[in-house]
């Protein structure tokens, strides 16, 4: 769902004089941010800030900072290692298909988007979006979700947007901001439903917790929320089915014969 959004904003930015000339690549971002551009440092700083806001003592502020820094450092690498294991299989299948159907250079093997997480443009975009997401979560009216664990997976959401923007970090960040706003609102609205499912399967809540649980990225995914509303009988959601069909057709026509890499 994020790829069509990325294409739309990319076309809009193309029409804005001056802004359409801004191009920021990963090398410049990492050079300017230095050591503070490392995922572990971003996570540690965010953890310390969250600990201060929560009123923790010095010990627990440091513990929270180190813990979140560790998550930001390890989780993307774990996902990348697991997904890279699929690449040899993909190459083998592609060789087999090319041998069986000679001359078909248009055959591609689809893999999970997580294989793209290691791309420098995607990592840089996710790093920039991390503090932006927390900032928006605190200020957004009606939002009740504080993104934490999902921050390490922002690269997965950003990957399709970066792809649509052809690696331009500036455009990807601008595009991702309204997406983050929508994700937070949807995650808040869907929290009672997710909490109900958790209770139905006897999910163990945190001790002393009486609140609700939700998910910033998965729970806030606009497409999944739309599907849920369809099965709930929402007339507006059902009416959007032909609109989605037109969007899919438009994206197909727009990207036909184009390789985004």
Q: pLDDT: is 1 or 181 the higher one?
A: 181
Percent of the chain whose pLDDT exceeds 90? 7
Question: What's the length of the chain?
Answer: 261
The string of pLDDT tens digits covering residues 162-202 is: 888 888 888 999 999 999 999 999 988 888 888 888 888 88
Round to whole Å and give the CA distance between 103 and 97: 10
Cα dist. 222→33, 190, 201, 212 in Å? 32, 11, 25, 20
Distances (CA, A) of 9 to 50, 162, 218: 32, 11, 22
**H-state helical runs in 101-168:** 120-139, 154-164
Q: Are 213 and 205 in contact (CB under 8 A)?
A: yes
Higher pLDDT, 32 or 9: 9
All structural domains of the chain with their residue ranges: 2-180
Task: Tell if the pTM clears 0.75, that is, is over it.
Answer: no
């Amino acid at each position: 769902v994020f790829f069509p959004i990325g294409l739309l904003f990319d076309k809009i930015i193309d029409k804005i004089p001056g802004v359409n000339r801004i191009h920021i690549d990963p090398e410049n971002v990492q050079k300017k941010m230095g050591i503070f551009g490392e995922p572990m440092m971003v996570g540690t700083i965010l953890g310390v800030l969250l600990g201060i806001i929560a009123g923790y003592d010095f010990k627990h502020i440091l513990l929270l900072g180190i813990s979140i820094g560790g998550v930001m450092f390890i989780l993307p690498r774990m996902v990348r290692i697991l997904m890279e294991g699929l690449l040899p299989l993909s190459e083998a299948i592609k060789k087999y298909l090319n041998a069986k159907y000679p001359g078909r250079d248009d055959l591609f093997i689809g893999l999970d988007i997580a294989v793209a997480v290691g791309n420098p443009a995607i990592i840089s975009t996710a790093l920039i979006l991390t503090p932006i997401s927390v900032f928006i979560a605190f200020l957004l009216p009606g939002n009740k979700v504080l993104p934490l664990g999902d921050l390490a997976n922002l690269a997965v959401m950003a990957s399709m947007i970066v792809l649509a923007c052809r690696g331009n970090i500036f455009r990807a960040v601008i595009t991702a901001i309204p997406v983050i706003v929508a994700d937070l609102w949807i995650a808040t609205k869907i929290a009672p439903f997710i909490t109900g499912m958790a209770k139905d399967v006897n999910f163990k809540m945190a001790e002393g917790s009486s609140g609700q649980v939700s998910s910033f990225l998965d729970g806030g995914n606009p497409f999944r929320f739309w599907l849920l509303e369809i099965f709930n009988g929402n007339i507006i959601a059902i009416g959007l089915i032909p609109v989605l069909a037109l969007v899919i057709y438009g994206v197909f026509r727009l990207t036909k014969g184009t390789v985004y890499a």
